[in-house]
Structure formats: C-alpha cells, structure tokens
Amino acid sequence: MCLGGGQSDFFNPTVTPWVRLPLQRSLLAHLETIWQEPDEGILEVRGPQRHFTHSKVMAWVAFDRTIKSCQKLGLNIPLERWCEIRERIHEDVCQHGFDPQLNSFVQSYGSKDLDASLLLLPLVGFLPISDPRVAGTVRAIERDLMYGGFVQRYNSQTTDDGLPAGEGAFLACSFWLVDNYVLMGRRKEAEQLLEKLLSLRNEVGLLSEEYYPAEQRLVGNFPQAFSHVAVVNSVLSLSREVGPIDQRAEVPDTPPSAETNEWGALDR
C-alpha cells in the first residue's frame, strides 16, 4: 500500500500480480459468507432489504472475473471451490430470480416487479444475449418500464423504496437498453435511442441522473457520472467492431462487412 501517495497497489499496474492476490482472496472469502444475505441493491432503495437479483449476479461476476484473471496470469487459487461457488450463485439466480409467468427476471427473489438493472445480466456475461430469458426480460422492460421513450429504473408505484411514487426516467438505464439492442443486433433502434438520449444534454454536453418527460427537463443529481460512463460505453459499442459490452459479454468476433454505419463502425 502506497500510503504517501494515497494510492493502493491493487490498482497499480506496475505491481506484480501475485502481490494483489491476498487482497482478492480476502475479498472473495468475505463475499462467500455474505452473498446469500439480502441488501439494498444497486439503486439503494430505502425500503426493506431483499434478495436483489442484480446483487446476486454481481457476486457471480466477482468470482467469475477473479477466476478468469488468475487463470490467465497462472496464479495459484482455490479453483475448485471458487468455481463451485460461482456455479451455485448462477443456479440460485436462475432458479429464484426468474419468473416463468412473466417470462422475465425480476427485481428481487419472489417479487413480480421489474428492475432496469436486469438489463445488465447479458452485459456482464451472466447469460448470453441469445438466451430466451434475456429476450423476455428486455421485452418486459420495454413493455412496463418505458416512460416517454426512456427507461425507468423500476415502477415506483409498486416498489417499496421509502419514497413518494413518481420519478423521472433513469438515464443510465436507458443507455443499458441501447447496449442490449447492440448485442441483439437491433442497431437501428440502438442508434435511435442513443440519439434521443444525447439530445437531452445541456449546452455544455452534460447529463443529469434522470429526465422527466412530462416537464421535458433534466432532474436529479447533476452532473451524474453514472450517466456519462453509460454514454461512453454505448458510443464505443456502436462505433467499434468489438465494443466494451461485447468484451464483457464475451461475444465472439464477427466478420466485418465492407460498409460502415454513421457511427464509424463496420456494420455487423
């Protein structure tokens, strides 16, 4: 730990990978003991704790990425145990986080509510974009969480978040839908939604946390880094043959065509 510079060696690319491994082991050892506990979720709802589907998926991501990175670097890890936990989390999410009647993943175990964070499942490689459960989830969100052409983070009328019902569309969530469209090959829809989102920027190109279509104004935290990170991901994914969402979702490369689209990328 480089205390004088305020920088952790964990983020220092000059540090030998095995130096970081004790920290990774400690983090996963802790995660192994808590992943089955309820929490407040990525959107930090103020209601009761629950088993949020997205939270479980991110626990899976932690084990998945650590396993893969350590294998790539040739590091000695408890591979069998970590792989078993990764598989157990995956099975748990697919069993308890998916509602066959809705044909969609749900916000939390046992719930009938949707949540825009479910759009991240294919983006982090939890399931392939071709999986019918992913397609069903995207359709359900398009049907029930769209507001003025943008995506709400959840239905505030039915989700107990400790706040009054009614809010704007959460901009980062709308960019996640753009990314899903890209992976699904729905590029025209991805471009149209991205253009619509970019049109919301203020005179210096900044976005807030939410947009309120009824009053046509940006609302919430401003500027919001969450929104701008999502802009970068979506634009790169539309402007490159293999964008960041392709890499995280582990989509195999596809042969390029001779034509490029308006974002400068070769059409797939």
Three-state SS for 195-220 is HHHHCCCCCCCCCCCEEECCCCEEEC
Q: Which of 82-86, 163-167, 244-248 shows the highest mean pLDDT?
A: 82-86
Q: How far apart are the first and last CA of the chain?
A: 45
Give the Cα separation of 130 and 180 in Å (integer).
11
Boundary residue ending a domain (42, 73, 102): 102
Residue 254 covered by a domain: yes
pLDDT at 1 (0 to 100): 29
Same-domain pairing of 267 and 149: yes
pLDDT at 135 (0 to 100): 95
Residue 117 covered by a domain: no
Residue 107 covered by a domain: no
DSSP per-residue codes, 145-169: SEETTEE-SS-TTTS--SS-S---E
Amino acid at site 82: W
Over range 167-195, report the average pLDDT. Answer: 91
- Helices 171-184 and 187-198, packing angle to 10 deg: 160
Boundary residue ending a domain (45, 80, 102): 102
Same-domain pairing of 24 and 76: yes
Boundary residue ending a domain (68, 102, 136): 102
Mean pLDDT, rounded, of the chain? 80
What pLDDT, in 10s, does the model give residues 133-179?
A: 999 999 999 999 988 898 988 776 566 655 555 677 889 999 999 99
DSSP per-residue codes, 30-54: HHHHHTTS-B-TTTT-SS--B-BHH
Same-domain pairing of 174 and 62: no
190 Ramachandran zone, left/alpha/beta (phi>0; psi -120 to 50): alpha
Same-domain pairing of 84 and 32: yes
Domain boundaries, position 24: 1-102
- CA torsion angle 236 237 240 242 (round to 10): 130
pTM of the model: 0.80
Residue 213 covered by a domain: yes
Same-domain pairing of 96 and 155: no
Please say if the pLDDT value at position 193 is more than 50: yes
Residue 161 or 96, more confident: 96
pLDDT at 245 (0 to 100): 65
User: Is the C-alpha dihedral spanning 54, 56, 62, 68 positive or negative?
Assistant: negative
Residue 21 covered by a domain: yes
Query: CA–CA distance from 176 to each of 61, 157, 194 (Å)?
Result: 17, 22, 10
pLDDT at 257 (0 to 100): 35
- pLDDT band at residue 64 under the 50/70/90 scheme: very high
- pLDDT band at residue 252 under the 50/70/90 scheme: very low
Residue 131 covered by a domain: no
Nearest to 150 by CA among 210, 110, 100: 210
Same-domain pairing of 166 and 251: yes
pLDDT at 18 (0 to 100): 47
What pLDDT, in 10s, does the model give residues 3-17?
A: 333 444 444 444 444
- Strand 146-147 to strand 169-170: parallel, antiparallel, or no bridges (unpaired)? unpaired
Please say if the pLDDT value at position 248 is more than 50: yes
Residue 168 covered by a domain: yes
pLDDT at 254 (0 to 100): 36
Same-domain pairing of 158 and 97: no
What pLDDT, in 10s, does the model give residues 18-49?
A: 446 788 888 899 999 999 899 888 877 777 88
Give the Cα separation of 233 and 174 in Å (integer).
12
Give the Cα separation of 189 and 257 in Å (integer).
20
Residue 46 or 191, more confident: 191
% the chain with pLDDT above 70: 78
Same-domain pairing of 48 and 159: no
Domains identified in the chain, total number: 2
pLDDT at 259 (0 to 100): 39
Over range 98-126, report the average pLDDT. Answer: 93
Same-domain pairing of 38 and 89: yes
